DNA sequence: TGTACATCAGTGAACGCGCGTTCACTGATGTAC
DNA sequence: TGTACATCAGTGAACGCGCGTTCACTGATGTAC
């Protein structure tokens, strides 16, 4: 039975957020429409009233996950001195909590090595996400020149993404936690 | 028709190296047996004379790719002063050439975010690979205490893996190359 | 504002296809004497 | 060393299954007058 415009928009948003979680949890290729649509409270037949293809959903879900990640980082930085803000962002990112919850965490770490093979729209969205996070980090490095800040922000993000991905691969809890600690300590000055 | 023991061993090795390339090129989930077995010069029916399952092949292919990567790093370090050796390894890793050839490069970067969801055998092999690379890098940091060297080697590897993965996602050549340059420069002292 | 009809969100079954795995078969290799 | 037979590597077709996508259908919503 037909739904109101408002309901349709809600359904669409629900599909995107559910898919964004599923993709990060199980990977894009390993997430089938029939598997996650019930999680959104729908049968999978209705999917194509909202999206042209799975690829289109991938792009939008990726965008949503990046927006969510960046908003969280902005919230962590708000009302803080630059140095403190950077430390807060890095520490949250390289935390056991983030490691253990890929489904609600950074998509660059959750599906990083899959994004390379996604279509142009998704690649562009992911690229923009990287640039936005680099800018956000560079904003916390006010003591450097703009170029130096961006360069340092870039390598900081690389260390964050690499550290989180590797910590998730490591099968020994202790070694995994040490990976998080070592990478975090290399990025924050004090402590 | 039956093959000799020697031929069988060659076939098995050929399957592993072909699969190791295919997994890194297209991802594990997106690589089907029927797709890569012809690349190894075989029909896919014979696969199960060599392996119990795709999962077993994944584990062995992952091991082969890591062995290959580590051997290459050892070769780059041989006959060099520690500092020079570290710079050689980092520069080769964060190079456009490595970025553009994931199929023969580091599996941690090529399939990093998939490895987390692989079975126990593969996780263990990947974990060992991480530890071996960290040790290899730590060996090039003789001016630090063993613990400090391992900690720095750990964050160095994280930056390498994160930098390469991000550079492969970025759809703008210039930005991608800058990602490699910025991460490389953050890891090597001079220049 | 009320009515008549067109639209379309969501259902559930079905489509063709490719997946990992199995199997009957072939004939060269390995083994036992 | 030679012979007879068992083994098994590789082929190619087939298995059941789940994939992304399509479709006929339902009935509430949106639109036109």
Which of B112, B131, B185 is opposite residue A112, by nearest beta carbon? B112
pLDDT at B73: 98
CA distance A140 to A88: 11
The string over A94-122, giving b where at least 16 C-beta atoms fall within 10 Å of a residue's C-beta and e elsewhere, is bbeebbeebebbbbbbbbbbbbbbbeeeb
Contact criterion met (CB < 8 Å) for B166 and A158: yes
CA B145 to C1' C27, whole Å: 64
Provide block-wise average pLDDT over 10 residues at a time, chain A (191 residues): 92 98 98 96 95 98 98 97 96 98 98 98 98 98 95 98 98 98 90 41
B-chain CB neighbours of A26 within 8 Å are: 117
pLDDT at B191: 41
Within 7 A of a protein CB, which nucleotides of strand D? Answer: 7-13, 18-24, 26-30
pLDDT at B142: 87
pLDDT at A152: 97
CA distance A53 to B100: 28
pTM, entire model: 0.96
- A14 CB contact with strand C at below 7 Å: no
CA distance A169 to B107: 12
Closest-CA distance of chain A to residue B186, Å: 7
Residue B180, class by beta-carbon neighbours within 10 Å (0-12 exposed, 13-18 middle, 19+ buried)?
buried
CA distance A41 to A17: 12
Closest-CA distance of chain A to residue B83, Å: 19
pLDDT at B1: 77
Closest-CA distance of chain A to residue B131, Å: 9
Contact criterion met (CB < 8 Å) for A113 and B116: no
Beta-carbon contacts of residue A166 (< 8 Å; ≥ 6 apart): A179, B108, B112, B130, B157, B158, B161
Residue nearest D14, CA–C1′ metric: B45
Residue B120, class by beta-carbon neighbours within 10 Å (0-12 exposed, 13-18 middle, 19+ buried)?
exposed
pLDDT at A142: 87
Within 7 A of a protein CB, which nucleotides of strand C? Answer: 7-13, 18-24, 26-30
- B91 CB contact with strand D at below 7 Å: no
pLDDT at A146: 96
B-chain CB neighbours of A27 within 8 Å are: 29, 113-114, 117
Cα–Cα nearest to B162, from A149, A115, A154, A151: A154
Residue whose tokens read 């996780």: B123
CA A64 to C1' D26, whole Å: 33
Contact criterion met (CB < 8 Å) for A151 and B27: no
DSSP line for chain B: ----HHHHHHHHHHHHHHHHHHHHHH-STT--HHHHTGGGTS-GGGGGGT-S-HHHHHHHHHHHHHHHHHHHHHHHHTTS-HHHHHHHHHHHHTSHHHHT-GGGS-HHHHSHHHHTTS-HHHHHHHHHHHHHHHHHHHTT-TTS-HHHHHHHHHHHHHHHHHHHHHHHH--SHHHHHHHHHHHHHHH-S--
pLDDT at A191: 41
What parts of chain B have a pLDDT lower than 70? 190-191
Q: Considering just the CA atoms, what is the radius of gyration of chain A in Å?
A: 18
Q: Does B122 touch chain A (CB under 8 A)?
A: no
Nearest nucleotide, CA A47 to C1': C10
Residue whose tokens read 């070592």: A182
Cα–Cα nearest to B136, from B100, B92, B191: B92
Q: Does A182 touch chain B (CB under 8 A)?
A: yes
């Amino acid at each position: 039975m037909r739904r109101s415009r408002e309901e349709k928009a809600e359904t669409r948003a629900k599909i995107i957020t559910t898919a964004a979680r599923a993709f990060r949890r199980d990977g894009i290729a390993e997430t089938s429409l029939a598997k996650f649509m019930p999680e959104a409270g729908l049968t999978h037949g209705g999917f194509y009233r909202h999206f042209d293809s799975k690829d289109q959903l991938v792009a939008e879900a990726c965008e949503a996950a990046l927006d969510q990640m960046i908003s969280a980082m902005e919230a962590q930085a708000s009302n803080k001195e630059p140095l403190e803000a950077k430390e807060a962002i890095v520490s949250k990112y390289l935390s056991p909590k983030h490691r253990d919850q890929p489904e609600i965490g950074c998509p660059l770490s959750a599906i990083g090595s899959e994004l390379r093979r996604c279509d142009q729209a998704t690649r562009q969205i992911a690229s923009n996400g990287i640039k936005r996070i680099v800018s956000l980090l560079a904003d916390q490095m006010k003591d450097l020149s703009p170029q130096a800040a961006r360069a340092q922000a870039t390598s900081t993000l690389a260390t964050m993404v690499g550290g989180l991905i590797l910590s998730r691969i490591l099968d020994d809890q202790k070694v995994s936690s040490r990976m998080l600690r070592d990478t975090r300590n290399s990025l924050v000055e004090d402590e």
